[in-house]
């Protein structure tokens, strides 16, 4: 069930049986020569939609632009300031809490968002502590690659060539779910260098084609299907547990 494809009476009826929903959150940033710029938003969005359809829970629109300043030397990347993203997450949370939601599960697709999302949660809880009568609501964040069973599946499929950015796992997912978008490009070296991330110019100098430690040529639709199945199952189990708390 998708919020943006529902009517307000349908959301009212949903709230009568559940106060929980999933919010996919990601980024619009480069993913190397073969990865889609929308990868970090598409992965959590498509996993969440499948899980929601199977288990009958509500999925919000995708928060699809995150903190990605370190990718800004690559055309197409869009970024938010951390302070902007915190304010936007607070507004999303406040809107949902106002309508009666009390369990907000954020399924994240971008590691660069983690600190900012947690800071936004702290703002939400701060507001509760100082606003008399504000209803109690809880936020939870889970990176899709940390859902039960996903990391083990990716390790078995790709070993050390998984890397940290523009990974074969995420590119396998988009290849499986959006096969017409699959890209092929030369990769040199096959496994990209690894190292720290600082500002955008430093990133482009260290990782000129946008990959970090990965070999996305290992990506395949079959691998994407395996990862997808495990991720959907893991999300359903974890969401149901969170909903019941």
Summarised one tens digit per residue, pLDDT across range 83-98 is 999 999 999 999 999 9
Distance CA 8, CA 14 (A): 10
CATH number of the domain that 65 lies in?
Answer: 3.40.50.10310
Give the model's pLDDT for residue 132.
Answer: 75
What average pLDDT score do residues 90-109 get? 97
Give the model's pLDDT for residue 231.
Answer: 98
Distance CA 108, CA 142 (A): 6
How many domains is the chain built from? 1
Contact of 162 with 194, CB cutoff 8 Å: no
Residue 120 confidence (pLDDT) above 80? yes
Indicate the average pLDDT of the chain: 96
Structure tokens at 195: 């190292």
Q: Give start and end residues of each alpha helix (H) in 100-194.
A: 114-130, 150-158, 168-177
Give the model's pLDDT for residue 130.
Answer: 84
What average pLDDT score do residues 162-170 get? 97
Q: Where are the beta strands (DSSP E) in 64-135?
A: 103-108
Three-class SS state of 201: helix
Structure tokens at 122: 């702290």
**pTM, to two decimals:** 0.96
What average pLDDT score do residues 19-23 get? 98
Grade residue 183 by pLDDT with cuts at 50, 70 and 90.
very high
Give the model's pLDDT for residue 131.
Answer: 78
Summarised one tens digit per residue, pLDDT across range 60-71 is 999 999 999 999
Summarised one tens digit per residue, pLDDT across range 23-36 is 999 999 999 999 99
Summarised one tens digit per residue, pLDDT across range 125-160 is 998 888 777 888 999 999 999 999 999 999 999 999
Asked if the peptide bond before residue 182 counts as cis, ω within 30 degrees of 0, the response is no
Contact of 28 with 109, CB cutoff 8 Å: no
Structural domain boundaries enclosing 186:
3-244
Q: Are strands 138-143 and 103-108 parallel, antiparallel or unpaired?
A: parallel
What average pLDDT score do residues 214-233 get? 97
Give the model's pLDDT for residue 56.
Answer: 97
Give the model's pLDDT for residue 151.
Answer: 96
């Amino acid at each position: 069930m998708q919020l943006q494809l529902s009517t307000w009476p349908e959301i009212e009826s949903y709230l009568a049986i559940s106060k929980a929903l999933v919010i996919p959150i990601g980024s619009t940033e480069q993913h190397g020569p073969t990865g889609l710029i929308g990868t970090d938003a598409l992965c959590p969005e498509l996993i969440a939609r499948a899980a929601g359809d199977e288990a009958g829970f509500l999925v919000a629109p995708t928060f699809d632009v995150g903190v990605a300043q370190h990718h800004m030397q690559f055309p197409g990347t869009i970024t938010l300031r951390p302070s902007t993203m915190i304010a936007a997450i607070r507004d999303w949370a406040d809107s949902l809490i106002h309508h009666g939601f009390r369990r907000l599960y954020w399924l994240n697709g971008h590691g660069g968002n983690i600190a900012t999302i947690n800071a936004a949660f702290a703002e939400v809880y701060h507001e509760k502590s100082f606003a008399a009568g504000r209803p109690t609501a809880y936020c939870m964040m889970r990176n899709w690659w940390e859902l039960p069973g996903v990391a083990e599946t990716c390790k078995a499929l790709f070993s050390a060539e998984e890397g940290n950015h523009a990974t074969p796992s995420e590119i396998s997912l988009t290849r499986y779910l959006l096969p017409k978008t699959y890209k092929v490009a030369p990769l040199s070296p096959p496994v990209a260098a690894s190292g720290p991330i600082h500002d955008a110019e430093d990133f482009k100098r260290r990782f000129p084609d946008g990959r970090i430690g990965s070999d996305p040529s290992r990506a395949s639709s079959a691998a994407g299907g395996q990862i997808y199945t495990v991720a959907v199952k893991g999300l359903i189990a974890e969401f149901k547990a969170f909903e019941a708390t």
